[in-house]
Amino acid sequence: MTIVVYQKPTCTTCRQVHAMLKDSGVDFDAVNYYVDPIPKSKLLELLTKMRITPRELLRTKETIYKTLKLAERDLSDNEIVDLMVKHPDLIQRPIVEKGARAILARPRRPLERDSLRRRATSRATRCERAPDPACAHPASRFSACWSVACRDRMPELQPPSPFPPTRRAPG
């Protein structure tokens, strides 16, 4: 499965993500969506994979956002997607896609935690991503905690933990 990074090469965060993936030896395709615009159908697909709304993908600090007065307008999701296709500056970046999943790698920290880096260590540590502070499920440094409470949105990007998942009693 190929990893695709939708980016703007002059964007600092995009350059950082690109360098991190390259340094980690991960094979990926980079798409400059200013040169190769993202078609509406693909943008809708990415939004579905990211499980976010079009409004959540808007870059609210861009000049075009302010010029179009998008904060003041009550637009449908379809209208927002149409504006993103017409004005790529409105799209948050970078978007990293792999198979049936995609994430907005902004800030780049979620990407580091999702371990596109294949450099997992064997040292057992406390899960670094546990939303529940009480979770002590062991996980390798760059892999996900596989407990139900801590499962990440992109498990296929991570090597399986050498530890079995924990099960919590119902109730």
Q: Is 11 noted as a catalytic residue in this protein?
A: yes
The confidence band for 171, taking pLDDT boundaries of 50, 70 and 90, is: low
Q: Are residues 26 and 105 in the same domain?
A: yes
Q: Which member of 11, 14, 127, 135 is catalytic?
A: 11
Q: Which domain holds residue 138?
A: 120-171
61, 141: one domain: no
Q: How many domains does the chain have?
A: 2
Place of tokens 């159908």: 41
Most confident of 23-27, 44-48, 129-133: 44-48
The enclosing H or E element of 43 equals helix 40-50
Digit-coded pLDDT (tens) for 71-98: 999 999 999 999 999 999 999 999 999 9
Where is the domain boundary, 63, 91, 113?
Answer: 113
- Are 30 and 7 spatial neighbours (Cβ–Cβ below 8 Å)? yes
pLDDT digits (tens, 9 = 90+) for 101-115: 999 987 655 555 554
Rounded (5°) CA angle 1-50-154: 50
Q: What is the rounded average pLDDT for all residues in the chain?
A: 75
Does residue 127 share a domain with residue 104? Answer: no
Whole-number Å distance between alpha carbons of 10 and 8: 6
CA distance 21 to 26: 5
The whole-number pLDDT of residue 170 equals 59
Let me know: does 110 contact 59? Beta carbons within 8 Å. Answer: no
